[in-house]
Structure formats: C-alpha cells, structure tokens
Chains A and B, each alone.
Chain A
Amino acid sequence: MSKQKRIAGNVANYVDERTGAAAWLKKNLTKVFPDHWSFMLGEVALYSFIILLLSGTFLTFWFDPSQNEVIYHGAYAPLDGIPMTAAYQSTLHISFDVRGGLLMRQIHHWAALLFMVAIVAHLLRVFFTGAFRKPREFNWLIGVGLLTLGIVEGFLGYSLPDDLLSGTGIRIAEAIIQAIPVVGSYLAFFAFGGPFPGHVFISRIYTVHVLLIPGIILALITIHLMLVWYQKHTQYPGPGRTEKNVVGYPLMPVYMAKAGGFFFIVFGVTAFLGAVASINPIWLYGPYTPGQISAGSQPDWYMGWLDGLVRMAPPLETHAFGHTISWNILIPGLIIPGILFTGMALYPFIESWMTGDKREHHLLDRPRNNPNRTALGAMSLSFMFISLINGGNDIIATHFHLTINEIMWFTRIGLFVVPPIVFVITKRICFSLQLADRNLVLHGRETGRLVMLPHGEFVEVHEPISPEKAYTLTQHEQVPALALPDEDSNGVRNPGGLKRKIRARASQANAEQIPAVTASELHELEGGHH
C-alpha cells in the first residue's frame, strides 16, 4: 500500500510541476453529478460513437472505397464470377474472409442504429424536461447539429458497400440534388463527377464518412461535454434540490466507475447484437446496377420518416418557361425537413419569447407541469411517427392486409389531423396528472383499506404523503401569462400588431395550469381534520 501511494504521489508531483493541474483537478475530481436513469441516454450516444470509431477504424483496414470493376472470386459461392465494384467486393471480403470481419460490420451497423436511437431519446429527455432553457441553449443547438450530422453520417455509411440496396439510396439522393432549382443538375454532376453513378462517388463519400463528419462530431461532442461540465448538470426537483445547488455523487470514484462500467455494458450489448442479429446482409442484395432493384427497399429507421414523406407526396411538378420544378421531391425532401429542423433548433428561443422568461433554470420540469411544451413535443412526435408509418407502408400493407392506397390516404390525412388532436389530448392528460398530484397532496394516498363508518357507509382510508413528496409535487413555478395590453399608454390600439397577438395567445396557452397546492390550503385542510 505505502509503495503504491509513493508511486502515485511521484506521478502526481511530476505532472503537476509541469502543468499546474493539481488545483484544477482538486476542484474537478469532486465535481458532483446528479443521478437519474434518463441522464444515461446521452451517455449511450457518446459510448456508441466511441464504438463506431473503433469498429469503423477496423473496417477501414480492408474496405476499398473504389468503384473500379472487378470480377468476384471469393468465399461466397453464389456471387462467383459476377462483375462488381471493388467496394462491394471488399465488403464481401470483410464479411466472409476476414476473421471477425462480419462481426465488426454488424457491430458497426448496430452501433450506428443505437447511436441514433440514443441521440433521439436524449433529445426528447432534454425537450420534455425543459433542460434546454437558459443557460443551456447552446448545447441544444449543438445537439440538433449532432442529430443532423448523425443522420447524414449513417446514410453515407450504409451507402459505402455499393450493394443493390445502398446504390438505390444513392440514386434517390442524386435525384434530390438534381431537383434543386437552377443549380441542381450542376451540383449533381459535380458530386458524382459526371452522370450517375460515375466512378468517384464512393471514394468521395468515404472521406466524408471516415474523416470529415466524425471529426466534426467529435469536436461538437467535446464542446457539448465541456459545457455540461462547466454549467453543471441539471437535476430533477425534490427535497433539498434548488436552483442554486447540485445534489449527486462525486465524479471520483463512484460516478467514474458507473460511467466506465456502463461503457463496457453498452459495448457488450452491441457486440451481442452483432453476434446474433444479422443486419444489412449485403451479399443477398447483389452488386449495384441502375437497371435493377431489390424489392422492399427500406432505408435505416432514422431516414424512414423522410422516405415516408416522399412516398405520400402528391405528384406535383411545375413546367413553365422551359424549366421544371419538382414539388413532389422538393417539398418532402428539402422543404419540410428544413422547416422541422429549423423549428427544433429555434425552440428554446421561441419558448422564452412566448413566456418572457429570461432567467436561468437548473431544476428540470416534470413534463406534466409544462402542459403546453409537452403537448407541442407530443404533437411533433406524432407527425414524425405518421411519416415513419408511411415509410414502411409496403411492410405494413403485407402485415396488416391493407392496401398501399389505404395507408397513403390514412397518413396523408393523418399528417394534418392527428398532430392537433395529439396536442389537445396530451394537454388534457397533463392537466389530469396535475389534478391527480393535487389530490394526492391534499387527500393523501389511497391505501385500499376500507373502514365502515357508524352509519354503515364504507370509506377508503387515505394516508397522508410525506412532506418530501408533497414538496416535490408542489415546488414547480406556475408562471402567469404575460401582461400584453391591447392598448399602449398612448392609447394606440394593438401595439406591435400581429406579433403581439400571437405572443399574447402563446403565453396564455403556456400559462394554463391546474394550480398547485399551497401551504395555506394544506394547512386549512389539516386544521379541518384535527
């Protein structure tokens, strides 16, 4: 023990004399992290990214990003003698000849799916708990950037093997580029080095996939984590937790051990999936040729909503003055995603404009306590979900014995009808949960025990809840609507015009709440009991 300590001391001394790190470390090794399962979602995203870096680097050792034509003579007999690109051939080689190659390919692909699931789940956690509020707006923006880059990175990744399925995806991407007004065909020719499919696209996206985007993602993750570190983590409300403190475990050793252990668990689970669950068996699809297609072409799930929107788009094109504008591609492929992602990125600013709230927030909201935000989130989710349904319309049709036509009309109409309904219902649900909280605080928990009153009536015994619980259920702020008068001090009607009206309306909607139990209400009630 003493020897260990001496060595540790020497190392620490050596490092500190050269960096002055001790002062910084002293402060930061005891950094406090609050604990909650939902705080691990971001961690899963981080760990799956590390797994992607490791497994991806392994794949680069054999993958040949070239579209030169070769004739296959490898371990997979059914494709023997077939012409294909070197990219496809090398992916077959990884899958059948390199020991552990298929495992690594499958781990890489599963980790990519997990990465996207974790990012989306993490984003939802942040959204529904209001963790994006001041001072954390930058991290929200970085998160939206990471999500976008993840989608692009994943798409480029599964385009690399140059099999029939991925080539079809590239073909569609090319059509979207080509549809951009004025410059579309130029952009497409520059990207593909001439007419589709050309000979350069795979090698170009390879550089982007293994260097450019991972580099940017890594930089963004670094900033993201530095901000979390510096701003300290948010925490859920509860006894002893305030806007001015963080309650949790110190970084060293508990948090580190848990987080480190969790990394291995995530890696282990991904390896398990890679071992038993086949994914993207490119040898079954065959090499890409523009004249063929594999039935049931499906993109990875995080692209599915886009595909669903494209599938349900009405067949609209404008032909005028010798030019063509393909609304059927531009609207679902660029315009709607553009609006959705911009809206998502700007949401923290929109909300603070609506509520007029410019203060810092470190205590999270329970989703029910912000019914308007929660309903907006549920509404957007339902939009995505309906698009996603249509992205799998062929699969759903065969499973549920529906026609593609029925599903298309259901989703076309649903896209406009369902989100508002979801908004209203979610808001109602939030109100009833708030009401339930209120009743719980006022009347206590139902025990299920019945007692008979003297006159023969049965009543259930209620047990009062603990002061901790009562505090947790009532601590949230209920901000009143902004006072935005119709008339300003000079008697001008409707100052600020439409903008003021929208803001007044939105702030009203945000302020709708079931009043939380106050101390005096509770007091009165208790007084009545005794």
Chain B
Amino acid sequence: MANEIEKIKDPGLPAHKHRKADLDPKAADRAERQVSVLFLLSGAGTALFIFAFLFVKTDTFVYLPILGTTNAHQLFLGLGMAASLFFIGMGMVHWAKTLMSDTEVIAERHEFRSSDEDRQSFVDTVKEQASTAGLGRRKLIKRSLGFAGLLAALPGVLILRDLGPLPRKALNKTNWDKGVRLVTDPGYRPIKASDLEVGAVAQVLPELPEGTERTLENIGTDAVLLIRIRPEEFQLNAERLSWTHEGIIAFSKICSHMGCAVALYEQQTKHLLCPCHQSTFDVTRAAKVIFGPAARPLPQLAITVDAEGYLVAQAPFNEPIGPSFWERSS
C-alpha cells in the first residue's frame, strides 16, 4: 500500500518488567506461602465434602438467608466440592503468575501455503493416479459409479423405515364418536349438565370401552375442555349453537398451533389462553383466534345429553385436532 511508509514505526517489544518475586527472594517466599495456603484451602473443601457425604443425611434441611430452606446434604457436598476444585485452580494460577517465568517469547510464523513445487507435484500425482485409474477416459465407469453411489444411499434411509408406523389416518382420529360419554379427568366419571355451574371449566375425556387402557397418546388427542357460560352470551351460527348444550360448549384442549394444552381460562373475558405462545381463543365465538400465532380455532366437539341425562358427543370431531400437517385438508 502506498501509505505503508507513512505509518508510525513499530518501536518493538517493550523491555520486560520484572515482578517483585523475581527480584526479591522474600517476595518469592511470600508468594510460595500464598500458593500453599490456597492448596490447603482446597484440602479443607475436600474434607467438608467427605463430612457431608458421610454424616449429613439426605433429608436434612437448613434455613439460610437468601437461599431459603435448602437441603443441607447437597448444599454442603456442593460447597465442599466447589472449594476443593476452586482453590486448587487458584493455587495453580497464582503459582504460575507469581513464580513461573513470565518472560515473553517470540515465535515466528510460517506461511501455510505449500511451496509451488509441492503443489505442482501434488497436482501431478493426482492427475497420474486418475489416469492410471482411467477416470478421464472411461466415462461409463464414472457414470455407473455415480449411479451406484446414489443408489447405495437408499438402503441407509430405507433401513430406518421400521422406526414407526405410517401415519395413514391416525392424525385425523380421536376416540370421540356419536354417543360416547364425557368423563371427568381425573376420575373418569360421567357428568351431567347440572354438575357444571355457570363460569366453570372441566377437563373431560371420552369414556373408553370397559377394559381398554387409556394411554398418553389417547389423552394427547382426546383431551377436551368443557366450559359453561350463559347461553345468551354465545355468538355462534345455528349449527355451532346446536353443538352446545345449555350453555356448555366443548373444545379440543390440544392447541391448534403446536399442540400444547390450552389450560388457562379467563372467566371475565371468556378467553382460553395457551401458555406456550399465548394464542388466545374466544369461547363465545367458537374459539376464534383473537391473539397469537395460532391460525385456526380450537376444534369444537358437538355435545348433547343421552337418555340418562349424561353429557355425550353428538359426533366425532369434524376436523383433525392439534397442530397442522401437510395432509390436513382444511
């Protein structure tokens, strides 16, 4: 560069400054004592660790300011371990800083680029090897090798096939069906409309046939929230209104965004809120999304009562519950 000559000159590495301990043997002795004190503190930490491990019961609690009530066993174990390690480290660093040579050393760098001859001979070698193998001339070999190579990757993918079943229609299915009773979760008791006061919420699941085990997968698709408000507060079309019963409305509890449990119900505003990303659904308007990243309302379950007065589903959900997926048609 043109202005290189104009740059302020490098005065070179400043003269080495000696530390106290380099010049004064007394200071050096003092540093040595400091280092040993640090190592001894580490020993004390180890002793605390052993003591806590052997003699402090795992269910002893102590009250400490700031920390509050804490498990004494794990606290003292931890403090002992921390001291044992920390002070060894401090000792070593202090030793290095005060007593080991601190004269700066200069080492030269070398360029990484190989010499031109080396590079040329490398290229020649590669070329020669390629030509011995006939890569240049034998097109057919090259192409069929590429073809076989690509093909050989397939088994690597295929062999993973048995990781799980194909989804088929599984994402569209729940255990809700016409006439299936709503049962409480927990408890699995059928409920009547009168069990739910205005303003109340309940989590329900479909009653399963006797002897069927309820799995977490079932809960992940079947969980439904029942909410009771005053019927005149609904702003629903005739069809959706007919899916409610005496002010009781039922929605899938699995968020239409990413599947978290939509667990918070605000009685005043009649909003359902998903704590994961705060999607908010208006209960009075068929769980329309009024805030947040969810793009669809929570699916509504049509409910009614059976001959004995228990709440039942009128029909299965008319759309898949939970987060979207490619095959979802609406």
CB neighbours (8 Å) of A135 from chain B are 112
Lowest 4 CB-CB distances: which A-B pairs, in order? A275-B78, A268-B86, A261-B92, A240-B13
CB neighbours (8 Å) of A315 from chain B are 279, 289, 292-295
Given A239-B13, A264-B85, the answer on whether A185 and B326 have CB atoms closer than 8 Å is yes
Asked if B73 is at the interface of the complex by the 8 Å CB criterion, the answer is: yes
Chain B residue with Cβ nearest A171: B259
CB neighbours (8 Å) of B78 from chain A are 103, 106-107, 271-272, 274-276
CB contact list, B92-142 vs A, under 8 A: 92-93, 95-97, 100-102, 104-109, 111-112
Q: How far is the CA of A269 from the CA of B86 in the complex (A)?
A: 7
Q: Is the CB of B89 within 8 A of A264?
A: yes
Q: Is the CB of A244 within 8 A of B108?
A: yes
Binds B, one of A217-225, A324-332, A375-383: A324-332
Q: B81-94: contact bitstring with A at CB < 8 Å (1 yes, 0 no)?
A: 11111111111110
Given A196-B259, A261-B93, A295-B264, the answer on whether A276 and B67 have CB atoms closer than 8 Å is yes
Q: Is the CB of B89 within 8 A of A232?
A: no
Choice from B11, B67, B82 contacting A269 with Cβ under 8 Å: B82
Given A189-B165, A190-B160, A315-B289, the answer on whether A271 and B82 have CB atoms closer than 8 Å is yes
Asked if A242 is at the interface of the complex by the 8 Å CB criterion, the answer is: yes
Q: How far is the CA of A118 from the CA of B171 in the complex (A)?
A: 42
Q: A139-173: contact bitstring with B at CB < 8 Å (1 yes, 0 no)?
A: 00000000000000000000000000000100110
Binds A, one of B187-195, B219-227, B300-308: B219-227
Closest-CB distance, A356 to chain B (whole angstroms): 13
Given A103-B77, A194-B165, the answer on whether A254 and B90 have CB atoms closer than 8 Å is no
Given A182-B326, A246-B107, the answer on whether A254 and B102 have CB atoms closer than 8 Å is yes
**Among B6, B166, B254: residue with most chain A CB under 10 A:** B6
Choice from B82, B220, B294 contacting A275 with Cβ under 8 Å: B82
Asked if B239 is at the interface of the complex by the 8 Å CB criterion, the answer is: no
Q: How far is the CA of A253 from the CA of B97 in the complex (A)?
A: 11
Given A103-B74, A328-B295, A518-B6, the answer on whether A290 and B220 have CB atoms closer than 8 Å is yes
Asked if A385 is at the interface of the complex by the 8 Å CB criterion, the answer is: no
Binds A, one of B230-238, B270-278, B309-317: B270-278
Chain B residue with Cβ nearest A295: B275
Choice from A168, A182, A516 contacting B260 with Cβ under 8 Å: A168
Known: A103-B77, A172-B258. 18 other contacts (CB 8 A): A96-B58, A99-B58, A174-B323, A178-B171, A190-B163, A194-B170, A195-B217, A195-B221, A240-B12, A244-B109, A246-B106, A254-B101, A264-B89, A272-B78, A275-B81, A322-B329, A323-B327, A328-B294
CB contact list, A454-513 vs B, under 8 A: 467-468, 470-471, 474-475, 477, 479
CB contact list, A235-273 vs B, under 8 A: 239-250, 253-254, 257-258, 260-269, 271-272
Asked if A522 is at the interface of the complex by the 8 Å CB criterion, the answer is: yes
Binds B, one of A10-18, A306-314, A341-349, A424-432: A306-314
CB neighbours (8 Å) of A254 from chain B are 96, 100-102
Asked if A293 is at the interface of the complex by the 8 Å CB criterion, the answer is: yes
CB neighbours (8 Å) of B326 from chain A are 180-185, 323-325
Q: How far is the CA of A261 from the CA of B259 in the complex (A)?
A: 48
Given A100-B77, A291-B203, the answer on whether A268 and B89 have CB atoms closer than 8 Å is yes
Given A275-B81, A290-B261, the answer on whether A518 and B163 have CB atoms closer than 8 Å is no
Q: How far is the CA of A77 from the CA of B101 in the complex (A)?
A: 58
Asked if A389 is at the interface of the complex by the 8 Å CB criterion, the answer is: no
Asked if B167 is at the interface of the complex by the 8 Å CB criterion, the answer is: yes
A to B CB contacts below 8 Å, 25 in the list: A103-B74, A175-B258, A179-B323, A189-B164, A191-B163, A195-B170, A245-B107, A247-B13, A248-B104, A249-B102, A253-B96, A261-B91, A271-B82, A289-B219, A290-B219, A292-B263, A311-B277, A312-B293, A313-B293, A316-B295, A317-B324, A324-B328, A467-B11, A468-B11, A474-B7
Q: Is the CB of B104 within 8 A of A247?
A: yes
Asked if A57 is at the interface of the complex by the 8 Å CB criterion, the answer is: no
Q: How far is the CA of A231 from the CA of B109 in the complex (A)?
A: 8
Asked if B79 is at the interface of the complex by the 8 Å CB criterion, the answer is: yes
Closest-CB distance, A355 to chain B (whole angstroms): 13
Asked if B3 is at the interface of the complex by the 8 Å CB criterion, the answer is: yes
CB neighbours (8 Å) of B277 from chain A are 307, 310-311
CB neighbours (8 Å) of A323 from chain B are 326-329
Closest-CB distance, B3 to chain A (whole angstroms): 6
Q: How far is the CA of A49 from the CA of B19 in the complex (A)?
A: 35
CB neighbours (8 Å) of A294 from chain B are 275
Q: How far is the CA of A186 from the CA of B275 in the complex (A)?
A: 28
Q: Is the CB of A258 within 8 A of B216?
A: no
Closest-CB distance, B167 to chain A (whole angstroms): 4
Chain A residue with Cβ nearest B276: A297
Asked if B330 is at the interface of the complex by the 8 Å CB criterion, the answer is: yes
Closest-CB distance, B173 to chain A (whole angstroms): 9
Asked if A517 is at the interface of the complex by the 8 Å CB criterion, the answer is: yes
Q: Is the CB of A185 within 8 A of B108?
A: no
Q: Is the CB of B10 within 8 A of A471?
A: yes
Asked if A396 is at the interface of the complex by the 8 Å CB criterion, the answer is: no
Asked if A193 is at the interface of the complex by the 8 Å CB criterion, the answer is: yes
Closest-CB distance, A204 to chain B (whole angstroms): 8
Closest-CB distance, B84 to chain A (whole angstroms): 8
Asked if A31 is at the interface of the complex by the 8 Å CB criterion, the answer is: yes
Q: How far is the CA of A175 from the CA of B276 in the complex (A)?
A: 12
CB neighbours (8 Å) of B89 from chain A are 260-268
Q: Is the CB of B73 within 8 A of A185?
A: no
Asked if B59 is at the interface of the complex by the 8 Å CB criterion, the answer is: yes
Choice from A100, A260, A404 contacting B53 with Cβ under 8 Å: A100
CB contact list, B25-65 vs A, under 8 A: 53, 58-59
Q: Is the CB of A239 within 8 A of B11?
A: yes
Q: How far is the CA of A189 from the CA of B161 in the complex (A)?
A: 10
Choice from B13, B81, B93 contacting A257 with Cβ under 8 Å: B93
Asked if A188 is at the interface of the complex by the 8 Å CB criterion, the answer is: yes
Given A323-B328, A518-B8, the answer on whether A240 and B217 have CB atoms closer than 8 Å is no
Given A254-B100, A324-B326, the answer on whether A99 and B53 have CB atoms closer than 8 Å is yes
Asked if A519 is at the interface of the complex by the 8 Å CB criterion, the answer is: yes
Chain B residue with Cβ nearest A403: B291
Q: How far is the CA of A191 from the CA of B258 in the complex (A)?
A: 17
Q: Is the CB of A360 within 8 A of B111?
A: yes
Q: How far is the CA of A297 from the CA of B6 in the complex (A)?
A: 61
Asked if A368 is at the interface of the complex by the 8 Å CB criterion, the answer is: no
Choice from B71, B92, B106 contacting A240 with Cβ under 8 Å: B106
Choice from B88, B161, B223 contacting A290 with Cβ under 8 Å: B223
